[in-house]
Structure 1
């Protein structure tokens, strides 16, 4: 198991400084008197774990900016586990909320995803005298809950320097607790304690396919490996007959070499 990437350690940076992105859907929604298919888009801050959800109306703007995408290999959701798990919980919430009915998707997405930033990061103590748990809303808005506060501040208080300094002190306190209680838990290695050699070229492997019986899993030969930034191989290109497949190493089983 490798160390945390730099994107997970952008400390004391604004939220969404390092962001993971994924789409979900489609859903049938009402637009006037007709029904249309709409996709949702989720942005996940890789450091504070904050979430922003919106509706993806079109990709024309991205196409005009000539953005180059690098996709994860097929059948490897663990490559984007940080946002893939959030996509799953969001789709479950939408399925419970929408069902098979057609509604206005924008309002439903924002209402369903509104409480995602109130999820505590780490352990919640049962002692009421302990400090409140850290949440993404604490780092975004200065309070654990994203709902509006029960008090109304006068305009003079909102623009005063004292109010700004108070917000900065709260943000510093949240970051200190983030470093002390949440960040060390990310480096706990529950598995992958032993060092293993990387996959090499020309190795004969068995490709794990959950959709096929084990006796029908294809056997191929490694034709190319793709080392990561830490020089560890997590993706390989497998040749099966005349076809080439890009597979994650987690889906490959090394077969013993035939002796000379």
Structure 2
């Protein structure tokens, strides 16, 4: 019966077989100057007279495309507690091993290491998509609308002997996908009735819309469940049926895709900053429902007066392209040429309105659309995930690992 072979002798025998596979007639110009020692191929180099350990002075040469080399790299990668390529390659070198093409082998193993991906993995990205057609249509304002809910704020509802009773108020922000105009409606609760009433008020003021977009994490699904005010399965259906009766379609973004609602998320952030500044100026004013509605109207006016393109220094173009040009016809648009008065003013009033609208859409096409051409991020095309791929899911609500 043969005795059990020790690990060191088995390891040395494996290295000997690998050295035989590597053995070729040695060229004098080889940078590593390999030689045979202890039945193994070792690095010769120029450190013969260095006061180093022989394993460091003459490390053993291993091929990169061998299973044992991969196992050794995995062993030392785990030994340095899944650190980067420099740590792992240094541990391999300290063990007296010189792997040909070691940088590439170590990088490929770290790239496939599940533990490293858990610790430092990057999220999958894809090239930024083309703009949807509703962002590029020349159509009446608020024909294509994106909406979201934000808040709440505490308002005084009634006076009591002990002080004042307070309630919460929210707001629905409607933004035009084309002109980037904003309309804000204050709501008293997050249930279906308040949402439908806000949409009806919006339609009564701005006219019916062709399409409405929102994400699934707002008042229609997530907020109603979170606050326990309504059944989550009934809210979307009731509102969608109401919109279909008004010849309007509702598109929901996929879950956890907040970047697809960047048009209205950006406007909500801007609204919050303006509103915080207004409330800071009036610290001692008690917020009531009427005051909150007035503040929202003023915030809408400020946002709709913002420039859509960089302000020109050309004195021949003093007017700023802003959503208020098409929403109110009172800001930033010059009067039509010619003197119109008396009967002509009544007869040609439609020409004035048409000239104002044409002036906005002409500048909108020539100045604003060009700013949407470039991609600010997500420039490269990557491979899409396929069926059978093993992935790690990241949840924003949960910490890493």
The TM-score, its normalising length taken from structure 1, stands at 0.69
CA separation of 1:17 and 1:102: change in aligned 2, threshold 3 A:
same
- Is residue 2:43 matched to residue 1:43? no
- Is residue 2:255 matched to residue 1:73? yes
5+ residue gaps, structure 1, are 147-154, 217-260
Taking the aligned partners of 1:194 and 1:102, their CA distance within structure 2 comes to 51
5+ residue gaps, structure 2, are 1-127, 160-164, 197-234, 241-249, 334-340
Taking the aligned partners of 1:37 and 1:19, their CA distance within structure 2 comes to 26
Taking the aligned partners of 2:369 and 2:174, their CA distance within structure 1 comes to 21
Taking the aligned partners of 1:139 and 1:212, their CA distance within structure 2 comes to 45
Q: Is the 2:304–2:322 Cα contact (8 Å) retained in structure 1?
A: yes
Taking the aligned partners of 1:46 and 1:106, their CA distance within structure 2 comes to 23
CA separation of 1:64 and 1:88: change in aligned 2, threshold 3 A:
closer
Structure 2 equivalent of residue 126 of structure 1: 313
**2:391 alignment partner, SS class:** strand
**1:113 alignment partner, SS class:** helix
Q: Is the 2:168–2:188 Cα contact (8 Å) retained in structure 1?
A: no
Q: Is the 2:325–2:332 Cα contact (8 Å) retained in structure 1?
A: yes
The structure richer in strand per residue is: 1
CA separation of 1:159 and 1:46: change in aligned 2, threshold 3 A:
same
The TM-score, its normalising length taken from structure 2, stands at 0.46
Q: After superposition, give the CA deviation of every residue in 1:229-248 in whole Å (9 maximum; x if it has no partner).
A: xxxxxxxxxxxxxxxxxxxx
Greater C-alpha radius of gyration: 2
Q: After superposition, give the CA deviation of every residue in 1:20-45 in whole Å (9 maximum; x if it has no partner).
A: 00111010012232311010110000
Aligned match for 1:53, one of 173, 184, 199? 184
- Is residue 2:291 matched to residue 1:165? no
- Is residue 2:130 matched to residue 1:3? yes
Q: Is the 1:28–1:102 Cα contact (8 Å) retained in structure 2?
A: no
**2:384 alignment partner, SS class:** coil
CA separation of 1:135 and 1:158: change in aligned 2, threshold 3 A:
farther
1:17: how far off? 0.2
CA separation of 1:190 and 1:65: change in aligned 2, threshold 3 A:
closer
Taking the aligned partners of 1:89 and 1:40, their CA distance within structure 2 comes to 14
Q: Which stretch shows the higher mean deviation, 182-191 or 133-142?
A: 182-191
Q: Is the 2:321–2:332 Cα contact (8 Å) retained in structure 1?
A: no
The structure richer in helix per residue is: 2
Query: What is the Cα-based RMSD across aligned positions, in Å?
Result: 2.9
Q: After superposition, give the CA deviation of every residue in 1:124-178 in whole Å (9 maximum; x if it has no partner).
A: 11233324221101111223369xxxxxxxx978971322211211211211111
Q: Which has the higher contact order (CA 8 A, sep 6+)?
A: 1
Q: After superposition, give the CA deviation of every residue in 1:37-91 in whole Å (9 maximum; x if it has no partner).
A: 01011000000000001101353163598224735423x4212100001101211
Q: Is the 2:326–2:360 Cα contact (8 Å) retained in structure 1?
A: yes
Structure 2 equivalent of residue 98 of structure 1: 279
